[in-house]
Amino acid sequence: MTMKPAERARQVVEILSDYYPQATCTLTHQSPWELLVGAILASQCTDERVNKITPALFDHFPDPPSMARAPQDEIEVLIRSCGLFRSKAKALRGTAAALIESHHGQVPSTAEELMRLPGVGRKIANLLMGDAFGAQAIVVDTHCARISRLLGFTDSDNPVRIERDLSKVVPLDSWTPWGHLMVAHGRQLCRARCRLCFDCPVRHLCRYGMAVDEADQTESGCV
Ligand code: SF4
């Protein structure tokens, strides 16, 4: 592969942006608070399920004060179907209380402040920065990590190192879209168990895709 990684990444962004023009944040939200709640609930749960849960949750607890005051069991009943509901209810109450105590009930707009909130790690902080506050931030979820490795932009399993590797090659104005494009691609063509490399519009830019043999892919039942 003679093309420089940054040029390959630029072309991947360009092609996948055309291929997935609707790629955007898949958690339904109207405010930073709603996105923060959705992101906490989305741990080990699908965004689709979270989107079914949050309308009723936001009806009951539309802001940090109402969530902080809520009895734990009332939150648990509303989020029970998304798994780990006890620890998530605790995290939601703790986060709401921390917002009231330290941020006047508002969701802070820096990654450092976000990561000091209970239940908020780097992935959620970057999601908020990109999709609630309009900054450029690379969200390294399982799709992003896996596909970025396949494309050959990182060899790491560590999300922080993957983010660092990607930040060196992905154009700065595409850091937030990169995460959305990886999710869209991971769901449609570059699936975890069945990569459809021969239908993939970026195969000519992909380290794995250029090495894969069509016969192997067909024999694997992945057609
Ligand atoms: S060529 Fe295959 S491995 Fe590479 S991005 Fe496309 S589907 Fe994924």
80 shares its domain with 161:
no
CA 207 to ligand 1: nearest atom = 4
Residue that is last in its domain, among 106, 131, 156: 131
Verify whether ligand 1 is closer than 6 Å to residue 195 (CB atom): yes
Record the pTM.
0.92
- pLDDT range class, residue 212, cuts 50, 70, 90: confident
Distance of CA 1 to CAs 7, 148, 204, Å?
11, 16, 9
Distance 151 CA to ligand 1 centre (A): 7
**Residues 14 and 71 occupy one common structural domain:** no
Active-site residue, from 47, 63, 90, 141: 141
Mean pLDDT of 131-156: 98
Statement to judge: residues 55 and 102 lie in one domain: yes
Residues 71 and 12 in one domain: no
Q: What percent of the chain has pLDDT over 90?
A: 91
Reported as a single tens digit per residue, the pLDDT across 49-79 is 999 999 999 999 999 999 999 999 999 999 9
Q: Do residue 37 and residue 101 come from a single domain?
A: yes
For residue 168, indicate whether it is catalytic.
no
Indicate whether residue 39 lines ligand 1 (CB < 6 A).
no
27 within domain boundaries: no
| 184 within a domain of the structure (yes/no) | yes
Helix (H) or strand (E) holding 33: helix 32-41
Q: Which of 75, 106, 131 is the last residue of a domain?
A: 131
Question: Is residue 196 over pLDDT 70?
Answer: yes
Domain contains 192: yes
Q: Check whether residue 83 and residue 41 sit in a common domain.
A: yes
CB 171 within 8 A of CB 4: no
User: The CATH number of the domain where 152 resides is what?
Assistant: 1.10.1670.10
Residue 141 appears among annotated catalytic residues: yes
Paired with 190 in beta bridges are 195
| CA–CA dist 15, 11 (Å, integer) | 6
| Parent domain of 100 | 32-131
Of the candidates 170, 151, 193, 137, the one whose C-alpha atom is nearest the C-alpha of residue 25 is 137
Residue 116 burial (CB count, 10 A): 14
- The 10 Å Cβ neighbour count of residue 16 is 26
Cα 21 to averaged position of ligand 1 atoms, centre (Å) = 18
Is 51 part of any domain?
yes
Number of domains the chain is built from: 2
Tens digits of per-residue pLDDT, 89-103? Answer: 999 999 999 999 999
Q: What is the mean pLDDT of residues 128-138?
A: 98
CB 182 less than 6 A from any atom of ligand 1:
no
Whether 9 and 43 map to the same domain: the answer is no
The continuous run of DSSP H or E covering 111 comes out as helix 111-115
CB atoms within 10 A of CB 211: 9
Residue 186 beta carbon below 6 angstroms from any ligand 1 atom: no
DSSP-derived secondary structure letter, 91: H
- Which of 195, 218, 220 to mutate to test ligand 1, by most ligand atoms within 8 A of the CB atom? 195
Q: Which pLDDT tens digit goes with each residue over 27-49?
A: 999 999 999 999 999 998 999 99
Q: What does the pLDDT read at residue 125?
A: 98
User: Which residue out of 181, 204, 206, 210 has the highest number of ligand 1 atoms within 8 Å of its CB and is therefore the one to mutate?
Assistant: 206
Residue 119: predicted pLDDT: 84
Query: In angstroms, rounded to a whole number, what is the distance separating the alpha carbons of residues 123 and 40?
Result: 10
What is the Cα–Cα distance from 75 to 92, expressed in whole angstroms?
Answer: 9
- If asked whether residues 60 and 99 sit together in one domain, one would say yes
Q: Is residue 177 part of a domain?
A: yes
pLDDT in tens, 101-132: 999 999 999 999 999 998 899 999 999 999 99
What CATH number is associated with residue 64?
Answer: 1.10.340.30
Chain segment 161-177, per-residue pLDDT in tens: 999 999 999 999 999 99
